[in-house]
Amino acid sequence: MIVKPHPLFIAARMILPLVVLAMACTEHPLLRKRKEEELWTGWNQWQIKPEDSLTLYGHELIARTAYYLGPGGTVARITNGMNCQNCHYEGGTRPWGNNYGGVASTYPKKRARSDKVESIPKRVNDCFQRSLNGKALDTTSLEMRAILAYLKWVGEGVPKGTVPRGTGIYKLPYMDRMADTVRGRAVYRSICATCHGTDGQGKPLAGGNGYEYPPLWGPHSFTTGAGLYRISNFAGLAYMNMPYGQADHDKQVISAEQAWDVAAFVLSRPRPVFDVSADWPDPKKRPVDDANGPYLDSFPARQHKYGPFKPLKTWFERMNPAATK
């Protein structure tokens, strides 16, 4: 006689494939969260092939720019004594350390600041002129070719057109209030001054080529045309990386609020002035925290430097409905 299966068994047999199918289609939420949080960690300098002398030289130029190109440079004397690596940590490979993971994959690309399609050498020269307060490198020079080779090597394996997570500078959420230079000074004195100096001038290396601790303001620091002169960039970089050696993407030492306030304090100090009159040919695309102006809106200039940024952001989005950032 044929045994009739129990109705529950029949139901289970019908439901089980659906359950398996459902499990295959959806990931466990924890797994999905982990994937989203996965940061690009990149290569490190020791993985450069020893015979690839051009890439090795490129790494040298990024890590020890001052030795080759600083005020006492052995190749040329065209920069302020800082190293690229002072701001692009571990040769530009550190997650949220202003790394170069998305350079080879996205350039040439149109940039709003110039309203032009920019090549990698053009972007590199931007940092030479604005961040290192120096002169542009000839694009055919050995040094530029080496830096280009290195940036391409860093970006190996990153699919064209994509920006890996953790590339560039971490975007801190805006505060509701204005960033406060007085509170920032207190943060600076208690946390940053031990390394960068109470006068913000950093600590030069004994040999005179580069710094043990780079300057944060004053004549040898980055200019008013540099990316770090935007408070959101400064705050995001400091939040994820400072104090150097103690903070990283896994563990921060200063709070987001302290990062905004200390950024406000440092950026309120004097620094070399860069001629930015040709920037942002389309002024309605000027980022809300570009401190240089002129502005199309009627908010005070001070608000563009220190916030609060949320009202500015609303204005910006109305002017640039297609803009993503």
Provide the 10 A C-beta neighbour count for residue 26: 10
Task: Please report, as residue ranges, which positions from 80 to 99 form the binding site for ligand HEC (by CB under 6 A).
Answer: 82-89, 98
Which range, of 31-39, 124-132, 282-290, 296-304, touches ligand HEC by CB under 6 A? 124-132
Q: Which stretch binds ligand HEC (CB under 6 A): 5-13, 236-244, 296-304, 317-325?
A: 236-244
Least gap, CB of 229 to ligand HEC (angstroms) = 8
8 A C-beta contact, residue 143 and residue 59: no
- Binding residue for ligand HEC, selected from 48, 104, 158, 169, defined by CB under 6 A: 169
Please, which residues have CB within 8 angstroms of residue 314's CB and are 6 or more apart in sequence?
none
- For the CB of residue 311, give the shortest distance to ligand HEC in the complex, in Å: 22
**For ligand HEC, what does the binding mask look like between residues 132 and 151, x meaning CB under 6 A?**
x--------------x----
Burial class of residue 94, CB neighbours in 10 A (0-12, 13-18, 19+): buried
SS3 251: strand
Find the part of the chain contacting ligand HEC (CB under 6 A) among 13-21, 242-250, 269-277, 284-292.
Answer: 242-250
DSSP state for residue 5 in the 8-state scheme:
P
The sign one gets for the Cα dihedral 7, 9, 15, 17 is: negative
Structure tokens at 66: 């001052």
Q: Please give the Cα distance from 272 to 136 (Å, whole number).
A: 17
* 219-227, 281-289, 297-305, 313-321 -> range binding ligand HEC (CB under 6 A): 219-227
Q: Are 103 and 154 in contact (CB under 8 A)?
A: yes
Interacting residues with ligand HEC (CB under 6 A): 62, 65, 82-89, 98, 100, 102-103, 123-124, 127-128, 131-132, 147, 168-169, 191-192, 194-196, 213-216, 222, 226-228, 233-234, 237-238, 242-245, 254, 262
